[in-house]
Amino acid sequence: MLSQQQKQPLLALLIWALLSSGPTWAETSHQPPLFDSHSHYSKADAQRFSPEDIARKYDRLNIIGAMISSTPTEKTEMLFNAMPNRIVPFLSLYPSKAHKPVWMRRTSTFKRIEPHLDAFPYQGIGEFHIFRPDAYSPVLEKVVKIAQERKLPLQIHGDATIIHRVYQLAPDLTVIWAHLGTVPVPEYLKQVLARHPNLYIDTSVRDALFVDDQGNLKPKWRRFFIQHQDRLLAAIDTYSTQRWEKLGETVAVIRGWLNQLPEPTRSKLAWKNGLDVYKMTHLQ
Ligand SMILES: [Zn+2]
């Protein structure tokens, strides 16, 4: 944790970096590795940033790899083809954004999954959005069955009812629960993790919860991260093109709390767990 006095030189450095031209301090500093366990590369993102641009951003920020999905999924394939050693491609269930709230009520959803999985080395399915009222969707059941047969992990943006339902259907499945679920409270998350041993949780977009006004990691989150250090994944979630534009700033925010954790918790959350869960053994 930083005291007020320790922060002064850091603040001066930040102001200097912002006033001078060129990349910001976050992009030039030698930071420990980060594996992004949840991100997207949409059509609009691809129009703004080529795969080579993304590779350069990753190099500059020491992002060693990322789990990517896209709507439509073709852009994930493009990014994977450009960086096969760094990108973990996940298959989106949505041919367009209009499918996001209705995919679980359309049988066309699972009919298009298997041809995609046969044609490309996808390593998981998701991120998909689904909540309690749709927990008993037959389409969800079919998606879980396909994942189980092919031994593919799922990335789910939903509530705990959905997580319980998926594990009722397939207890051995690896599930990555996006954004700490819908009730991001350590006491609650602890119970869900205890109930499902194959569940992992990504921290994307929840960074502001973990720190106080001074940027210090809150004790309850510090305890939670240390106690569950093998089940948590740091992640960025590039849900918009603006998020890609400001990647350096977002990564600096994430490292702001990560770097306050003791080892080995810090490295596990920052990159080691990501490599394990996504089987990126060549980067270990
Ligand atoms: Zn996302």
Question: How do the domains of the chain map onto residue ranges?
Answer: 91-234+250-283
CA dihedral 44, 184, 155, 47 (to 10 degrees): 10
d(CA 96, CA 197): 33
Q: What pLDDT, on the 0 to 100 scale, is given for residue 156?
A: 98
Cα atoms in the 13 Å half-sphere on the side-chain side of 257: 28
Distance 3 CA to ligand 1 centre (A): 34
Distance 100 CA to ligand 1 centre (A): 12
Amino acid, single-letter form, for residue 249: E
What phi and psi values does residue 171 have, to the nearest 5 degrees? -60, -25
Distance 106 CA to ligand 1 centre (A): 21
pTM: 0.88
Question: What is the percentage of the chain residues whose pLDDT exceeds 90?
Answer: 82
Q: What is the mean pLDDT of residues 184-195?
A: 97
* Residue pLDDT, tens place only, 6-15: 444 444 444 4
Q: What pLDDT, on the 0 to 100 scale, is given for residue 187?
A: 97
**Closest C-alpha among 53, 15, 36 to residue 269:** 36
Q: What is the mean pLDDT of residues 210-237?
A: 98
Q: What pLDDT, on the 0 to 100 scale, is given for residue 284?
A: 76
Amino acid, single-letter form, for residue 88: V
With a cut of 60, say whether residue 109 has pLDDT above it.
yes
Distance 10 CA to ligand 1 centre (A): 31
With a cut of 50, say whether residue 16 has pLDDT above it.
no
Distance 37 CA to ligand 1 centre (A): 10
With a cut of 90, say whether residue 281 has pLDDT above it.
no
pLDDT band at 189 (very low <50, low <70, confident <90, very high): very high
* Residue pLDDT, tens place only, 17-73: 443 334 444 444 578 999 999 999 999 999 999 999 999 999 999 999 999 999 999
d(CA 248, CA 58): 10
Distance 62 CA to ligand 1 centre (A): 21
Q: What is the mean pLDDT of residues 128-149?
A: 96
Distance 219 CA to ligand 1 centre (A): 27
Ligand 1 is an ion; its neighbours by CB within 5 Å are 127, 237
Distance 39 CA to ligand 1 centre (A): 6
> Which tokens belong to 276?
């394990």
Q: What is the mean pLDDT of residues 272-276?
A: 97
Distance 157 CA to ligand 1 centre (A): 8
Q: What pLDDT, on the 0 to 100 scale, is given for residue 24?
A: 44
* Residue pLDDT, tens place only, 254-271: 999 999 999 999 999 999
CATH 3.20.20.140, domain 91-234+250-283, yes or no: yes
**Under 8 Å between Cβ of 135 and 161:** yes
Distance 237 CA to ligand 1 centre (A): 5
Q: What is the DSSP string of the chain?
A: ---HHHHHHHHHHHHHHHHSSSS-HHHHS-PPPEEEEEEE--HHHHHHS-HHHHHHHHHHHTEEEEEEE-SSTHHHHHHHHH-TTTEEE-B-S-SSGGGTTTGGG-THHHHHHHHHHHHS----EEEEEE-GGGTT-HHHHHHHHHHHHTT--EEEEE-HHHHHHHHHH-TT--EEEGGG-SS--HHHHHHHHHH-TTEEEE-TT-GGGGB-TTSPBPHHHHHHHHHTTTSEE------SHHHHHTHHHHHHHHHHHHTTSPTTHHHIIIIIHHHHHTT-GGG-
